[in-house]
Chains A and B, each alone.
Chain A
Amino acid sequence: MAEEPTDPTSEPAKEGFDRRTALKVGGATLGAAAFARALAPLTEWTEDLSVDGFLQKHYKELTPEELSAVLRRHEAETERRYGREVTIRDLRPQEGVSFGYALNLSVCIGCRRCAEACHIENNHDRRTQTSYIRVLEMTQGSFDMEHGTAVYDHEAVPAPGKYYMPVQCQQCDNPPCVHVCPVEATWKEEDGIVVVDYDWCIGCRYCEAACPYHARRFNWERPVVPAEEINPNQSYLSNRIRPQGVMEKCHFCLHRTREGRAPACLEACPTGARVFGNLLDPNSDIRWVLENKRVFVLKEDLGTRPRFFYYFG
């Protein structure tokens, strides 16, 4: 007796798993995985950036109340992320104050104490030893800063036949970095300091390319600073801990200088090579230097009009 032929349509129904179901399940699994993968940045996003942070306006467009809320949010975030209670303030430029800085190349010995003070004061990333100041070792008789080296290492400085030129942001009155910024995240303030709104910067690094003094730094990573080493005296436009992927630069320690104090690099200089002050005060030290010493600026031919002056003697 011939076996009864099996009904090809009824067999899968008995097992409850046909080709179509398999495809559906497979498709759904793949779809769910792709969806989860697509949403993955969102989980990071919530950790890195709050909705308030995402919707935050440009610094100049914040009302005092909004600005205050932003400062408090950043304080809370710093405490959560770095485990340190900090104060982040917003310090306005002073009326009748226009800052200038001068450096005596005859007495600078290239010890890098200024760069270290900047590193500590401004909560720079510890591993990369970032600083807004780069001390260039120059051969006596030469004058092109492009031929200076920042990575010299000696038993003792000054090395024979060398002189040293610390270079930081020159706070130009005609700043190329400001002109090239596509989103106006960097601008010049009334007291001459060029600042960055780290929350508005998109990290395109045009300003870094535009700066003829190599004065801008990029945060390739989120700065890592141990809690006990964080300087808690912070301000929005200066030394608060920067996010990843934004530009930063010397701001003449505006959280100190707008309170009348000297910049950290000046106080750290063991040879007293640095002179800082108000260019609008005819009795200030900086004015005396400009009026009585043969000062010069770096790359004057570029027309950047720096506020940072160098002199010998």
Chain B
Amino acid sequence: MPRPYRSTHARTTPILLALLAGCGSDVERPLADPPGEPTGQVRISAPAWLDSLATEVTGTDGTPLRLRCESCHALSPSGAALPASAEEAGAPHTGLEVEHGTLACASCHDSERPDRLRLASGHVAPMREAMLLCAQCHGTQHRDYQHGAHGGMQGYWDLSRGDRVRNHCVECHAPHRPAYPRLRPLPPPHDRFPPVRHEGDHG
């Protein structure tokens, strides 16, 4: 008999629907605000050794006092051609190893004031502007750097919320020896792998 069946069905369906609705409904939560105007600063960190040298004298906080390059170089302008190697330059530059293509001192340093840089245009730039000099030869890297695709950073991807500090070229590439150093890797994971077999293990 169809009638009683239909009436039962009609009674239970709304209850079931109500139960289902009560169990599985998502709560609408608004999204957070979109990023605003990029008001944050992008600063390029320049290491202290770009225009100063650590001395053996330590300050009250225990860190070595730094001597600015012009402390010597402003007093005694070389006035002559720069030496061909670091050995000829004398203290405190002895022992400096240069491995940067076939460049000589004068390729980058101004011959009158070696504490300054001489660009290809003939303009003299302070050490802190070294990036201009690097960019003369390393154009593709400089282009990538300008678009955030070269060189590390710290801080905010969203400049409307905070600032960003970017590495200077020389923080990764020491000017006199620019190849990035090889590093000891951190230990491998051991969450699901068998123990590491070292090179030479064939057991």
Contact = CB atoms under 8 A, between A and B. Distances in A.
Interface of A: 60-64, 91-97, 102, 104, 107, 109-113, 115-116, 128-131, 134, 150-158, 190, 217, 257-262, 266-267, 269-272, 275-278, 281, 284-285, 288-289, 292-293
B20 interface: no
Contacts of B184: 111, 155-157
B47 interface: no
A150 B182 contact: no
29 contacts: A61-B25, A91-B32, A93-B31, A96-B35, A104-B149, A107-B150, A111-B186, A112-B186, A113-B186, A115-B189, A116-B186, A129-B189, A130-B191, A151-B188, A151-B196, A152-B185, A153-B187, A156-B184, A257-B157, A258-B32, A260-B158, A261-B155, A261-B156, A261-B162, A262-B157, A272-B167, A277-B148, A292-B147, A293-B149
B149 A276 contact: no
- Best-buried of A113, A260, A261 by chain B (most CB within 10 Å): A260
A134 B172 CA distance: 24
Nearest to B161: A260
B185 A110 contact: yes
B62 interface: no
Contacts of B154: 262, 267
Given A150-B189, A260-B157, A270 B27 contact: no
Contact of A190 (B31, B153, B162): B31
Top 6 closest A-B pairs, CB basis?
A285-B148, A260-B161, A260-B158, A272-B152, A96-B34, A156-B182
A266 B153 contact: yes
B122 to A, nearest CB: 32
Contacts of B30: 92
A270 B162 CA distance: 22
B161 A153 contact: no
Given A63-B27, A157-B182, A260 B188 contact: no
A126 B34 CA distance: 36
Contacts of A97: 34-35
Interface in B179-195: 180, 182-191, 193-194
A148 to B, nearest CB: 12
A31 B148 CA distance: 71
A128 B190 contact: yes
Contacts of B88: none
Contact of A262 (B147, B153, B167, B180): B153
Contact of A156 (B147, B161, B183, B198): B183
Nearest to A261: B156
Contacts of B92: none
A116 B187 CA distance: 9
A276 B153 CA distance: 10
Given A129-B189, A278-B35, A281-B35, A111 B148 contact: no
B26 interface: yes
A272 B186 CA distance: 17
A292 to B, nearest CB: 7
